[in-house]
Amino acid sequence: MILELHPQNPEKRILGQISKKLSEGGVYIFPTDTVYGLVADSQSHAGVEKLYKLKNISKNQPLSLLCADISTASNYMEQLSNEAFRLMKRITPGPYTFVVKANKHLPRVSFSNQKDKNIGIRIPDSKYLQTLLEIHPNPLTSTSVFFKDEFVTDVDMIENEYGNKVDGIIDGGILELELSTILDCTGDGISILREGKGMDLINSL
């Protein structure tokens, strides 16, 4: 089911209903500031299990944690280096995945199968997700939408593949195929693991 929300002022009433469904184990597909993503409540065992099955991936496959802001993200990671913190503060929200050392508060429902203690955190620049994260009590667990080994950026194609498998698909139109830039912040410095969207801002700093 495709859901239409106002792109600049998403209806909080509808997002409140989505939040409730996520808490009950639902899974939705949202447009992000990069590609479409499957999202579940990070504390919902049923939702995360469904997410893995929909994506047909191993539970050892890393997922991302979507947070509303740095303050929320800091609840789940070890202290960053000064350099990494300053960079995160300057470029978020935005199309970046920060690989950080997780602390003991990491949602084990979502990340108990990971072999290491690192996690990818995103603070997406998406009005839909930002508004949802303001309402929802927990961060969201997310993974990009793709099938047949290809990312899907057309909402109609997503509807054909996932329409009867998820609780709803937020229509963000046809997105450009741009992946997030991945930054490794687990050490004293910062290293770029993947160049993607937003590199022009990083290069300008």
Q: What is the pTM of this model?
A: 0.94
Q: Indicate if the pLDDT at residue 84 is higher than 90.
A: yes
pLDDT higher than threshold 70 for residue 21: yes
Per residue in 28-44, pLDDT tens? 999 999 999 999 999 99
pLDDT digits (tens, 9 = 90+) for 110-167: 777 666 789 999 999 999 999 999 999 999 999 999 877 788 888 999 999 999 999 9
Domain ranges of the chain: 2-204
Q: For residue 204, give every residue at least 6 positions away whose Cβ sits within 8 Å of its Cβ, in sequence order, or none.
A: none
Mean pLDDT score, 164-190: 93
For residues 22 and 44, the answer to whether their CB atoms sit within 8 Å is: yes
Write down the pLDDT at residue 62: 84
Contact assessment for residue 30 and residue 9, using Cβ atoms and an 8 Å cutoff: no
CATH 3.90.870.10 fits 2-204, yes or no: yes
